[in-house]
Amino acid sequence: MSMMDKLKAILKGHEEQAGQGVDKAGDFVDEKTQGKYSGQVDTAQEKLKEQLARDREQDGPPQP
C-alpha cells in the first residue's frame, strides 16, 4: 500500500476537515513567506481540494 493510499484511507469521510486543513496550511505558508509564493500556494490548495472532491465522488458517500 502506497503512502497516498494510506492517506486516502485516513481521510475518507473527513474531506471537509481536510480541506479546512489545506486552507490553514496555505495561510500559514503565506504568512511565513510574506505572500511571496501566494500564487503557487493558491494553486496547490486548489489542486489538493480538487483531489479530495474527486476521491469523495469516486468512493461515494461515507457509510454510517
Query: Over the stretch 16-42, which tens digit does the pLDDT of each residue have?
Result: 898 899 999 999 999 999 999 999 999
> What is the rounded distance in angstroms from the CA atom of residue 51 to the CA atom of residue 15?
10
Please tell me which residue, 10 or 58, carries the higher pLDDT value. Answer: 10
pTM of the model: 0.72
Residue 10's pLDDT is 83
| 3-35 CB burial, b ≥16 within 10 A, e <16 | eeeeebeebeeebeebbeebeeebeebbeeeee
Residue 47's pLDDT is 93
- Mean pLDDT rounded to a whole number for the chain: 86
pLDDT surpassing 80 at residue 3? yes
Cell readout for 4 is: 497516498
